[in-house]
Each structure stands twice: as structure tokens, then as C-alpha cells.
Structure 1
Amino acid sequence: MWRNRNIWIILVGEMVAGLGLWMGIIGNLEFMQEKVPSDFVKALIMSVGLLAGLVAGPLAGKVIDQSRKKTVLLISGFGRMVSVVFMLIALETGSIWWMVAFMISIQLAATFYFPALQATIPLVVNEDDLLTMNGLHMNVATISRIIGTALAGVMLVYWSLVTLYWASIIAYGALLLFTMMLQINEGDSIKDREAKVKRPAKSGGFMEVFPVLKLYPAVTMTLVMTLIPLLFIGSFNLIVINISEIQDSTAMKGLIYTFEGVAFMVGAFAVKYIAKKWKTTTILFVFAMFVAVAEFMLFFVESQVITLASFTVLGFALGCFFPTAMVIFQKQMPKAYHGRFFSFRNMLERVMFQVVLLTAGAFLDIIGLQLMVVIFGVISLGLTALFFIQMKRRNIILEQPTAESI
């Protein structure tokens, strides 16, 4: 595995791009804190970009499956570079509307980039190494988040916000160079591979994914299960801002990202060994419950120790949950449908992000953080129990034999 140059290119590229991404995110939060007093309005601004990605999702899936993955990665990567220009204009003019343009453009680029990357990984990694690769990829993304947020904090002390976005442009440029070095063997043409899978004659885009999902109930159940952590993840940045205000500590932002990120890396590393002793079903449902536990712990948000413990629990749970779920998607979903499936998954997540963002923004303004996390915890726990019951009733087995690409 370690002799595969594509793996190193993907991991190094993810590290560099992640640094740029998180510097930009910290810059966005700082800009909104200065310009936007209401949590709900902050949520509205963040949701605009997600909505744009939601609209483009069906087209992205079709394009990814009908095009070379490397081409899609290069074009969308270049789009991320261009989008940062809008944020530079926003800083120069002090206009929120230019920030909205930035949010829309960078989400559009991400709508094509991330599903294409997820569809590329199974093409460059052996199936037996997918769990390890997913864990490594998520760990690298987490390391870049920790370093990126720390660097952003230091840069804001000594330099202006503009510096963060210039650093983002440089990072995205470096990502383009790494992407150019990728060597992806996509095998048979898309049409040849699709012809091997039975599908409705008069369908297109996502409509072709739904009949295939019916043939793979484990994929469908896992897809639904991934919605549980999104209650916490979707409101993550708003919660971090709120905690720093409650505790009157700007340092807590960096500490929260660090504790959650380190715990995520530990979880993504540990899950490879946990999977040898626990069934896939056990891993998904146990760590889904851990997410609910982390939400309940934030009721004691005045305590810095409990707050950091909460994000540690969350990070470890997500580090075990997502690599496991991703392996199910990559192994059991036919490769001919990976582009549309991962685009559909991203679109589904964007719908949830929209709902969670707006709901969290309203809750934070109306009832406050403590009651909100209790409500989220009850919902997460309830959904976990509901999905477990449904899985047993329908006799869905997540450990079913790996589905070959048909």
C-alpha cells in the first residue's frame, strides 16, 4: 500500500488543501463575528452556499460518472482557487454580499470535488486496504484542521484577515499541482460498466441510484445512519462560537478544534483494531450513541473540562463511525454508480446541514445552547434506537459479503 504513489499524492494534497480550507473557515467566522450579531443570520449566510451545492448535486453526480475523475478534480480544484477572490473583495469592501458569493462558489466547487475524490479512492487502493486508507485520509484531514486553525489563530495575531485568504489560494494552487500527478486507471468505459447493471431504461441522474440502493439494503441503512452525527456536525461552528462567548474565552475555539481533532485521529486509527473484535453493526450503533452522549455533556457548558471532554468523545466516535461507513459505501455500491451515489450522499448531507444550521441558529437565539444540545441529544438517541429496530425488523445484515462491482 505504501508503495502506491497515488496514495501519497492524495494524502499530501489533502494536507495542503486542508490547511487552506481551515484558514479560510476561521477567517469566515472572524469576519461574521465582526459584521453579523445574530446567530440565526450567521446560519442563513452559511446555508446559502449549502443550498447552491444542493442544487448542483444531481449534475455533479452525472458529470463525475461520465467523466474522468482526474479532470473533475482539476476543474473543481481550480474553481476553489477562483472562489477565494470573492472573499478578498468582501474584505476590501466590507460587504457581506461578496462573502455570500464566496460561500456559493466554493460550495459549488466542493460539490464536484469531494464526490469525485471519494469515487477515486477505490480506483487507486486495493479493497483490503480501504478501511486503512479511509482512516488515514480522515486523519490527514483532521491534522490539517488542527494545524490550519492553529496557524490561522497565530496569523490573526500578527497579520490581517487578508493574509489568511492569500494563504488559502496558495494551498489550493498546491493541491492542483498534486492532482496533476495522479495516475488513475478507470478501466472499462462508463457505458460498458453501467451496461452490466440492470437499471430502468427511462431514468437519469440520481433516479438510477435508487433502484440500485434497493439491491443493497446495508448501503441504504448506513446512509441513513450517517444523518445522526450531522445534528452535531452541522451546528459545530455555531456551537464553537457560542461556547467561546459563554466562557468568554477566544482560546477555547482552538482548544475545542484540537481536542476533537486529536480524538478523531485516535478513533480513526483505533477502529482498524476495533473492527477485528466488533461487528460493523456494533461499531456504527455504539458510536452513534456516543455522539448523543457528547451532546448531553454540553449541558454543562460552563465547565471547560466537561466541554473539552464532550468534544473528545465526539471526535473519537466520529473517527470510528465514518471510516466504517465509508468502507460499506465503497465496497458494496457498484463502482459504476460511485459518482452519483457520493453526490447523492453529499446532497442529502447538505439538506440536513441546511435544516440543522437554521434550526441551531434559531435555537441559540431563542432557547440558548444548553437546552438546544439536550434536544439534539434526545433526537440522536431516539433515531439510533429507531434505526436499530428497523434494521432488526428488516433483517438487514451490514456484515454481508462484499458486493463485487457488477
Structure 2
Amino acid sequence: MWRNRNVWIILTGEMIAGLGLWTGIIGNLEFLQEKIPSDFVKAVILSIGLLAGIIAGPTAGRIIDQSRKKTVLIIAGLGRMISVLFMLLAIATGSVWWMIAFIVSIQISATFYFPALQSAIPLVVKDKDLLTMNGMHMNVATIARVAGTALAGIMLVYWSLASLYWVSLLAYGLLLFFTMALKIDEGKGSSQAGNEKREKSGFMDVFPVLKAYPTVGMTLVMTMIPLLFLGSFNLIVINLSEIQDSASIKGLVYTFEGIAFMIGSFAVKYIARKWKTTVILFFFATMVAVAEFMLYFAASMTITLSAFAVLGFALGCFFPTAMVIFQKQMPKEFHGRFFSFRNMLERVMFQIVLLSTGAFLDLVGLQTMVIIFGVISLSMTAIFFIQMKRRNIILDEPEIEPVTNPAAEIV
């Protein structure tokens, strides 16, 4: 796998783009904190971009399946660069409306970019390398997040807010350069008749396929559990900073969570040799709820950072495992529509969680909110486990390629 130039191009591009993404996100939080006093109004503004992504989702999925993945990635990359210009205008004019234009445009670009990338990964690596590739890709994204947030913090001290977005613009430009260097063979096994059939198919065709592959459907539903925490992440970080009266806690939270995520994504390959896929997914979904309960002690920096470390390790094990199930068990001709549908579903959840978080923080405060979220996460985990047993859904399957010790391998 490491001799594959496409792997290095994807990982290097992700590192550079991640630096730009996270400097921009910290800039967004800083801009919102300056302009908008209410947590709920902040949540509404952030949710507008998610709504735009939901609306664009069906079109994105259909286009990704009917087009070359590289072409979609390039056009989405250009869209990201254009969107940054809107944020520079927002800073220059002090207008929240230009920021909304930025959020909408960059979310639409992401609606095309990420499903196309997720569809391209199985085309550039072998099935047996998917868990390693997904873990490494998420690791690189996490390193970029830690480095990007640290860089943004330093830049805010010494430079202007606009400088963060100039860094983002440069990073997205470099990502575009790396994307153009990709060589993806998308023609293997595809016939003219198959291409014509795919062109006639629509976004709604993904639903019968999900019904035919209940393992994929159950895993998709399982991924909604961590989103309760992730959707409220940025607003929680802002509130922790206010509760502890510390600006540095923002960077520390991202650092602890990011490092733990990297450790988890490395560890999951070894955990998978002893634990079944089902155990991995349900155990680490439970650990996400544990991390939420720990934030009840938000006034303690030690417990707060421990909570985000638990969250990071759990996510580092959970998401690469779930992604392998999606990439291996969902037919490749439906990858674009499936990953677009998944992103739409995530955006709907983020929208609900963002608005709920803003309202909860204004009404009951952080500590009561995290207890409510923890109870919801545990309840969802229990309900999904019962449903899986009742419907006899098996998340594990035998490894396709022969191995010395099949019991030590997972999908």
C-alpha cells in the first residue's frame, strides 16, 4: 500500500487541507464570539450551512456516481477556494451575512468533496488495506486538526483574524494541486451498458440497496450516536472556555482529543484481532456516552481533558471500523449516492444537535445538557443492540482473502 503514489497524494493533500480547514474553523468561532452573544443564534448561523449541504446531497450523490471522482474533487476544491473569499469580505465589512455566504458555499463544496473522496479510496487501495488506509487518513486529518488549531491560536495572538483565512486559501490551493496529480482507474469491469444503467439511476435507488444490505444500514444508524457529541463540539468548547475562564482550554481540548484519536485509530487494527466488529462498535459507542457524563465536572480542567481523551480514543476505534463496513459491503456503483446520503444524514443530525445544544446552553447550562446527551447516547446504543439481535443482523463476516488465522481478522 505504501508504494502506491495515490495513497501519498491523498494523505499529503489531506494534511495540507486540514491545516486550512481548522485555521478557518477557529476563525469562525472567533468571529461568531465577537459578533453574536447568544449560543442559540450561533447555532442557527452554523446550521444554515448544514441545511445547504442537505439540500445539495441528492444531486451530489447522483453526480459522483455518474462522473469521474477526480473531476468532482477538483471542482469541489475550486469551490472551497472561492468560498474563503466570502469570509475575507465578511471580516473586511464586519457583516455576518458574508459569513453566512461563506458557510453555505463551503458546506456545498464539502457535500461533493467528501463523498467523492470516500468513493475514491476503495479504487486506489486493496480491500485488505482499507482499515489501515481509513485509519491513516483519519490520523492525518487529526494531526492537521491539532496543528491547525495550534497554528490558529498563535496567529490570533500575533496576526489579524483575516490571516487565518489567507492560510486557508493557500492550503486549499495546494490541495487542488495534489488532487490534479491523482491517477484513479475508474474503468475496471465497467461496461457501456453498465455506464448507461448508472446514468439512468437516481439518488433514491440507494434505499432498496440499503434494505438489501442490513449490515450497512445498521452500521449507518450506529454512526449517529457519536454525532450527538460531535455536533455540539464547538459550542461546548466555547462554553468550557467561559466556565474555566481560560482561552487556552480551546487548544488543549482539540489537542487531547486529537492525540487520543490517533492512538485509537492505530490501536483498532490490533483490537480487531481480538474483538469482533460488533463488540468494537457497541463498546466504543458506550464510551462516547461515558465521555459526555464526565463533562458534568466541566469546572475541572483535568476531568475535562480526560473526557475529550476518552472521546478521541473511542472515535479513533469506531469510525475506521464503520468505514470499512461501508466501503467493502456496499456495492461500489452505489458509493457516491451512499456516501452522499450518509453525509446528508449526518448534516440533519448536526442541524438538530446544533440547535438543541444552543437552546440547552441558554436554558439549562452545559452540565445538565451533557447528562441529557449521555442518557440519550446510552439509550440509543441499547436500542440499536436490541434491534440488531432481534433482526439477526451480523456485522462480522469472514475475510474474503485467505488468511493464516481467520479468527484474528475482521471486516
TM-score range relative to shorter protein: over 0.9
Mapped partners of 1:258, 1:163: distance in 2: 22
Checking the alignment, whether the CA contact within 8 Å between 1:194 and 1:336 is kept in structure 2 is no
Mapped partners of 2:400, 2:118: distance in 1: 18
Specify the code of the residue in structure 2 equivalent to 1:342. F
Specify the code of the residue in structure 1 equivalent to 2:380. L
Give the number of aligned pairs.
400
1:217 to 209, 214, 218: 214
2:48 matches 1:48? yes
Checking the alignment, whether the CA contact within 8 Å between 1:59 and 1:205 is kept in structure 2 is no
* Compared CA separation, residues 191 and 31, structure 1 to 2 (3 A): farther
> How is 1:9-88 mapped onto 2 (pairs within 5 angstroms)?
9-88=9-88
> Which consecutive unaligned segments of at least 5 residues does structure 2 have?
402-411
Mapped partners of 2:69, 2:84: distance in 1: 23
> Which consecutive unaligned segments of at least 5 residues does structure 1 have?
none
Checking the alignment, whether the CA contact within 8 Å between 1:230 and 1:353 is kept in structure 2 is yes
Checking the alignment, whether the CA contact within 8 Å between 2:59 and 2:203 is kept in structure 1 is no
Q: Please give the secondary structure, in 2, of the residue aligned with 1:248.
A: coil
Match of 2:339 in 1: 342
Q: Please give the secondary structure, in 2, of the residue aligned with 1:186.
A: coil
* Compared CA separation, residues 329 and 229, structure 1 to 2 (3 A): same
Pairwise CA RMSD: 1.6
Mapped partners of 2:120, 2:197: distance in 1: 20
Using the TM superposition, give the Cα deviation of residue 55 of structure 1 relative to its aligned residue in structure 2, in angstroms.
0.1
Mapped partners of 2:310, 2:252: distance in 1: 14
Q: Please give the secondary structure, in 1, of the residue aligned with 2:245.
A: coil
* Compared CA separation, residues 91 and 42, structure 1 to 2 (3 A): same
Using the TM superposition, give the Cα deviation of residue 206 of structure 1 relative to its aligned residue in structure 2, in angstroms.
2.6
* Compared CA separation, residues 243 and 10, structure 1 to 2 (3 A): same
Mapped partners of 1:391, 1:358: distance in 2: 30
Q: Please give the secondary structure, in 1, of the residue aligned with 2:393.
A: coil
Percent identical? 75
Checking the alignment, whether the CA contact within 8 Å between 2:131 and 2:269 is kept in structure 1 is yes
Q: Please give the secondary structure, in 1, of the residue aligned with 2:397.
A: coil
2:395 matches 1:398? yes
* Compared CA separation, residues 65 and 402, structure 1 to 2 (3 A): farther
Q: Please give the secondary structure, in 2, of the residue aligned with 1:182.
A: coil
Using the TM superposition, give the Cα deviation of residue 390 of structure 1 relative to its aligned residue in structure 2, in angstroms.
0.4
2:367 matches 1:370? yes
- Give CA-to-partner distance per residue, 1:153-188, whole Å, 9 cap, x none: 001111001111011000000000000000000124
- Give CA-to-partner distance per residue, 1:318-363, whole Å, 9 cap, x none: 0000000000000000000000000000000000000000000000
Provide runs of 4+ in structure 1 moved above 3 Å: 188-197, 401-404
Using the TM superposition, give the Cα deviation of residue 207 of structure 1 relative to its aligned residue in structure 2, in angstroms.
1.2
Mapped partners of 1:153, 1:271: distance in 2: 31
Checking the alignment, whether the CA contact within 8 Å between 2:39 and 2:235 is kept in structure 1 is yes
Mapped partners of 1:152, 1:204: distance in 2: 44
> How is 1:186-201 mapped onto 2 (pairs within 5 angstroms)?
186-187=186-187, 188-189=189-190, 192-193=193-194
Mapped partners of 2:209, 2:378: distance in 1: 29
Match of 2:254 in 1: 257
TM-score (norm: length of structure 2)? 0.95
Using the TM superposition, give the Cα deviation of residue 30 of structure 1 relative to its aligned residue in structure 2, in angstroms.
0.3
Match of 2:204 in 1: 207
Using the TM superposition, give the Cα deviation of residue 189 of structure 1 relative to its aligned residue in structure 2, in angstroms.
4.1
Using the TM superposition, give the Cα deviation of residue 209 of structure 1 relative to its aligned residue in structure 2, in angstroms.
0.4
